[in-house]
Amino acid sequence: MTKADLVEEVTLLGDLTRRDGEVIVDTIFDSVIHALRSGDKIEIRGFGSFRIRQRRPRVGRNPKTGAKVEVPAKRVPYFKASKELRDLVNPSGRTPEATSPHQEGPSAA
């Protein structure tokens, strides 16, 4: 789903103009970005939470030349889905690995 698709969904559900849908979606995104920039976390019950994780500086390698490259510390946005969202995506309550017909072990014989 793209941002345009999301705007279209909001527009249809709210019986709004396309411009009103864009304003709503942009306002939500801007609010999330502003909260994360200021160090706040965002928790949307039943959906998930957004947080900032701090990455340490490290030494990386240029894949083309193999030369060492200093990668500075940075803040990275992180999303963690809520249990309710995970259950909606996996309605049986099982992970795909648990339902795989190609399991190894004593019961697969």
CA nearest 32: which of 1, 78, 74, 73? 78
Give, for all 109 residues of the chain, the pLDDT tens digit. Answer: 999 999 999 999 988 999 999 999 999 999 999 999 999 999 999 999 999 999 999 999 999 999 999 999 999 999 999 999 999 999 885 655 555 555 454 444 4
Dmax of the chain from CA atoms? Answer: 60
For residue 35, give both structure tokens. Answer: 């909260």
Task: For residue 19, give the 3-state DSSP assignment.
Answer: helix
Question: What is d(CA 11, CA 43) in angstroms, rounded to the nearest whole number?
Answer: 24
pTM score, two decimals?
0.69
